[in-house]
Chains A and B, each alone.
Chain A
């Protein structure tokens, strides 16, 4: 933001304070030193644990037990990754996660955007109450709906599939999606929609050709938030996956250490790495838009 900062006072004709003298070169470096140290410490705290994790994923069991923990791996092989992916069943878990996340995300967004449009753009009695009912859902903890849902899924025989996850994620994602989409539609000038209807567009045409394109960026942001929520969820996945071959990546990772009997460091680190860096790469690709979406003020 500001180019004029606390360190360099603004010089204006009315400035009554005596002008400060330029500090010599040595002092300037000394002055920058705290900045360098603070940033250094900050970055080490954030990045080094992840680096340590990555290095660990290449080490052998012997290196874990006998070398110092910050030593670099002696050989660079992907044995640990292969072990985690096949013997550790990580491949199955990742597949389950994708199969549960994709449909749930799609349904949440489609239902949520349409509902947001109906609640904000269309004019009818009672829409305030319905919006409030959706809003209340943001606050309710997942624990409150867990037991009845488990009973329903158990009685209807859905427990042996990924359907309980898809249905539950869709429902839990809806309140925030509806609320955010309603907020975004509110920021679009009403005249645009009124003009469209005056020109003879049906409401569905207005939704598809006017409303949808106008909030496309917002949809992207909301979808991203929902994606990370569903992908990283443990509570729902842990409750509704009754068979081990239905586990999502988070549930699988939680039970990972147990799979080899004794603790196998290499494969465990590799499994965590796949989860962490997979998400990180995805985030890096979408980074620019995340930041834009966040600063564009969904929360303000």
Chain B
């Protein structure tokens, strides 16, 4: 039997194509990109060796700091909000709406399948002020508040981005967490209720601890996605006003393709990759510890 299940020829045929494509198009470029960090220039102008100048520049470039701070702030705020909103929705589906939640679940899930670019353009139009008031400003006007230029200040632009992403993704996290909540054994809830736990108490002491694993995977999922945010911000604010809403991904893109600095672009990409790596490992570690405790 092991002769068949361990047949090298078969393994090569089945695994070969995937491994080949993966190696050539992902692993090799990752190493290649690492190599770029010690050069300056691009394929059209040619490259010159600059040693560790690019990497050193990362630490002194104020725009890198700005982009890094924005990326972390965005990832943190959005992860908290979308997981909290998703969790509240899923609790509502399970304990409040119960059987009737099907339609609401489907409708709230809608936005997540929509193309990011389309959603970003929709929100651009919703919050527009010139040449024509969008829906939000029109609503503000009817209650007597003058129109707000949402995209002209860093703070309001940030919150419009956050609002858009929460609108887009809360339904998705709700369904993800709903799957975890449904798995909690009915007897556990029942006995907790008999012991007098109800409402908030039941949620805090029984439901949250029991849904911790699925909450943690949502958080990992969310952070991993939000650190790499690109499409929605590019389409909504293009990093503006100024460079106030530019995440690392967008700054890397601008450096590489607008200014043609492949070496420095690769260095920023490396910073981003390390950031993702650290955060992933950190969360995995802390989740392991918490799980053994609980």
Contacts and interface: CB of A to CB of B under 8 A. Distances in A.
Interface of A: 1-6, 9-10, 12, 14-15, 35, 38-39, 42-43, 45-47, 49-50, 52-53, 56, 64-65, 68-70, 107, 110-112, 114-115, 117-119, 121-124, 130, 133-134, 137-152, 154-155, 167-168, 170-172, 174-175, 178, 193-194, 197-198, 202-204, 206-207, 228, 231-235, 238-239, 249-250, 253-254, 256, 263, 265, 268-269, 272, 275-276, 279-280, 283, 287, 291, 294-295, 297, 299-300
A114 B117 CA distance: 33
Contact of B276 (A6, A12, A139, A145): A139
Contact of A253 (B117, B175, B265): B117
Contacts of B50: none
Given A46-B108, A207-B14, A294 B179 contact: yes
A137 B26 contact: yes
A15 B138 CA distance: 55
Contacts of B186: 1-2
Top 9 nearest A-B pairs (CB, nearest first) are A171-B25, A115-B18, A148-B32, A148-B29, A145-B29, A118-B14, A111-B18, A234-B231, A118-B15
Given A2-B95, A6-B199, A299-B214, 7 more contacts: A35-B96, A119-B15, A137-B22, A144-B30, A168-B25, A272-B122, A294-B179
Contacts of A167: 21, 25
Contacts of B126: 49, 52
B44 to A, nearest CB: 8
Given A140-B26, A300-B214, A253 B121 contact: yes
B115 A134 contact: no
Given A124-B6, A168-B25, A144 B118 contact: no
16 contacts: A2-B94, A4-B190, A10-B190, A38-B92, A47-B107, A114-B18, A133-B22, A134-B22, A137-B27, A139-B276, A146-B256, A170-B25, A231-B115, A275-B118, A279-B114, A291-B105
Nearest to B230: A235
B98 A117 contact: no
Nearest to B8: A124
Q: How large is the interface on B (under 10, 10 to 19, 20 to 34, 35 or more residues)?
A: 35 or more
Given A46-B108, A174-B18, A272-B121, A299 B115 contact: no
B86 interface: no
Contacts of A143: 228, 249, 252-253, 265, 268-269, 272
A198 B14 CA distance: 20
Given A43-B104, A69-B138, A1 B182 contact: yes
B52 interface: no
Given A232-B116, A279-B115, A295-B182, A6 B198 contact: yes
B117 A234 contact: yes
- Say what secondary structure dominates the interface of chain B: helix
A217 to B, nearest CB: 16
Contacts of A249: 115
Contacts of A121: 5
Contact of B179 (A47, A124, A198, A300): A300
Contact of B138 (A68, A144, A170, A279): A68
B15 A130 contact: yes
A98 to B, nearest CB: 14
B168 to A, nearest CB: 10
Contacts of A174: 18, 21-22, 26
A201 to B, nearest CB: 8
Interface stretch (B60-68, B76-84, B129-137): B129-137
Nearest to B2: A123
A137 B8 CA distance: 25
Contacts of B180: 300
Contacts of A64: 132
Contacts of B1: 194, 197-198
A144 B33 contact: yes
B43 A154 contact: yes
A15 B195 CA distance: 10
Interface string B92-111: 10111110000011111111
B235 A234 contact: yes
B132 A65 contact: yes
A5 B270 contact: no
Contacts of B125: 53, 56, 268-269
Given A114-B15, A147-B36, A276 B6 contact: no
B11 interface: yes
A143 B262 CA distance: 11
A140 B276 contact: yes
B19 interface: yes
Given A124-B11, A140-B273, A254-B235, A49 B179 contact: no
A49 B230 contact: no
A141 B269 contact: yes
A6 B117 contact: no
Given A64-B132, A111-B21, A115-B15, A299 B176 contact: yes
B58 interface: no
B4 A203 contact: yes
